[in-house]
């Protein structure tokens, strides 16, 4: 399912996918595109950084769907 809230928050912050990904330390926009299109979810650490950069709450942006780590894909409740 697409993450419309993440995309809207990024647009409200006047940032491109590339700008947001570089702000998080990524080299390209692919991770941000995947999160927005619902192909993957960020780790909790990255979700917290995204929330800080975009000025939104983690639960607003992702609900309860974030990864515990890059290697284990589990949902956790915030």
What is the 3-state secondary structure of 20-48? HHHHCCCCCCHHHHHHHHCCCCCEHHHHH
Least confident stretch, 6-20, 29-43, 57-71? 57-71
Can you give the pLDDT at residue 24?
A: 93
Can you give the pLDDT at residue 63?
A: 81
4-62 in CATH: which number? Answer: 1.10.260.40
Locate the domains of the chain by residue range. Answer: 4-62
Average pLDDT value for residue range 22-51: 92
Least confident stretch, 20-24, 34-38, 66-70? 66-70
- pTM exceeds 0.75, yes or no: yes
């Amino acid at each position: 399912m697409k993450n419309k809230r993440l995309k809207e928050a990024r647009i409200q912050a006047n940032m491109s996918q590339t700008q947001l990904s570089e702000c998080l330390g990524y080299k390209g926009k692919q991770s941000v595109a995947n999160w927005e299109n619902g192909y993957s979810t960020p780790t909790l650490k990255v979700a917290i950084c995204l929330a800080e950069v975009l000025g939104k709450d983690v639960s607003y942006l992702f609900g309860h769907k974030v990864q515990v780590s890059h290697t284990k894909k589990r949902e956790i409740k915030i």
